[in-house]
Amino acid sequence: MAFQSAVITFPGSNCDRDMAVALESVSGTAPHRVWHGESELPERLDFIALPGGFSYGDYLRSGAMAARSPVMKSVVAAAARGVPVLGVCNGFQVLTESGLLPGALMRNASQNFICRTVPLRVENSTSLFTSRYEQGEEIHIPVAHHDGNFFADEDTLDRIEGEGRVAFRYLEPCNGSRRDIAGILNQAGNVLGMMPHPERAVEDAHGGTGGRRLFESVVTRLVDA
């Protein structure tokens, strides 16, 4: 059966097309494009992506308004049913604001917008998003954000570390994130939020393909299942 995915577009999303191209390139099937005002998602979905950008102009806090938009109720319900949900950059901010992931993404410690390719370590290669990577592997994926400084209290950090929920870690200081955390999973393992942009590292023409196997992990899992 064809891979059924959805890319959600909020007003101000700007990586939704890149996400859709990456998903089609890896899965062979174009994703559904879903507008934020929709209250229902397509029926059978194998994957939902919340793309990067500046939803609602980052008003109030990055991701805050998008997290309260109509479509997010359906996304939260789908996540609870076990549908894999990936949030990249602004999508990660939406996931924390909606309560699907713990912590918060604050202004970069340097106050600067950071736009460059960064080295990451794959900290958990057993998740449905990372199974095609080697445990501890170093990969290179671009970041482009102003609010990527991951914050959670020490108890929460200890808990997510202990549960193997840190998916990716920066190999060098990037934005001030606590414990250099670049991406985290929810407890059930079907929601991943990350600041680096895997959809910008899928083809050789991108300058690197460090993100491609993330999409392959999701797609092959469903094809093999």
Residues that bind another protein (CB under 8 A): 60-61, 64, 68, 96-97, 102-104, 106-111, 149, 151-152, 176
Minimum Å distance from CB 110 to another protein? 7
Q: How far is the CB of 147 from another protein (least distance, A)?
A: 10
Neighbouring-strand partners of residue 183: 168, 194
Q: Which among 36, 89, 145, 174 is annotated as catalytic?
A: 89
User: Is residue 216 among the annotated active site residues?
Assistant: no
Closest CA to 149 of 103, 115, 99: 103
15 catalytic? Reply is no
The set of residues, in sequence order, having a beta carbon less than 8 Å from that of 192 and lying 6+ positions away, is 84, 85, 86, 87, 127, 129, 167, 183, 184, 185, 186
**Around 78, how many Cα atoms within 13 Å sit in the side-chain half-sphere?**
23
Nearer to another protein, 82 or 173 (CB): 173
Q: Give 61 or 140: the residue with its C-beta nearer to another protein.
A: 61
Which among 62, 72, 59 has a CA at the least distance from the CA of 98? 72
Query: Alpha-carbon distance 209 to 213, whole Å?
Result: 8
**Nearer to another protein by C-beta: 53 or 63?**
63
Least distance CB 48 / another protein (angstroms): 23
**179 DSSP 8-state letter:** G
Closest to another protein by CB, 22 or 181: 181
Q: Which two tokens stand for residue 46?
A: 């194998």
Q: How far is the CB of 20 from another protein (least distance, A)?
A: 29
CB 86 within 8 A of CB 215: no
Which tokens is 36 given? 């934020």
174 in catalytic set:
no
Which residue among the candidates 36, 145, 146, 197 is catalytic per the annotation? Answer: 197
Closer CB to another protein, 68 or 159, in the complex: 68
Which of the residues 15, 36, 199, 206 is marked catalytic? 199
Q: At what angle do helices 212-224 and 16-27 cross, to 10 degrees?
A: 50
User: CB of residue 107 vs another protein: minimum separation in angstroms?
Assistant: 5
Q: Which residues are catalytic?
A: 89, 197, 199
